[in-house]
Amino acid sequence: VSVMELFRASPLGLIGCFGSGLAQGAFFSLAAVYATLIGYNVASTALFLALPLFCVILVQFPIGALSDRFDRRVVLTALTLVVAGMALANVFASFGPVLFQLIAVAVFGGLMIPLYSLSIAHMNDYIATDQMLGASSKMVLVYGVGSAIGPLMVGGVMHGVGELGFFWCLSVVHLIVGLFGLYRMTRRDSMSLEEQGGFVLVAPRATPIAAGVAMQMVEESSEIVEPEEIDVGLQPDLSE
pLDDT in tens, 74-113: 999 999 999 999 999 999 998 989 999 999 999 999 999 9
Beta-carbon contacts of 23 under 8 Å, excluding residues fewer than 6 positions away, are 83, 112, 115, 150, 170, 173, 174
pLDDT in tens, 167-203: 999 999 999 999 999 998 888 777 666 555 555 555 5
Per-residue pLDDT band for 123 (boundaries 50, 70, 90) equals: confident
pTM of the predicted structure, to 2 decimals: 0.78
Supply φ then ψ for residue 236, to 5 degrees: -70, 145
**Contact assessment for residue 199 and residue 75, using Cβ atoms and an 8 Å cutoff:** no
Return d(Cα 228, Cα 239) in angstroms, integer: 22
What percent of the residues of the chain are helix, what percent strand, and what percent coil, each to the nearest 5?
A: 80, 0, 20
Helix 72-93 to helix 11-37 angle, to the nearest 10 degrees? 20
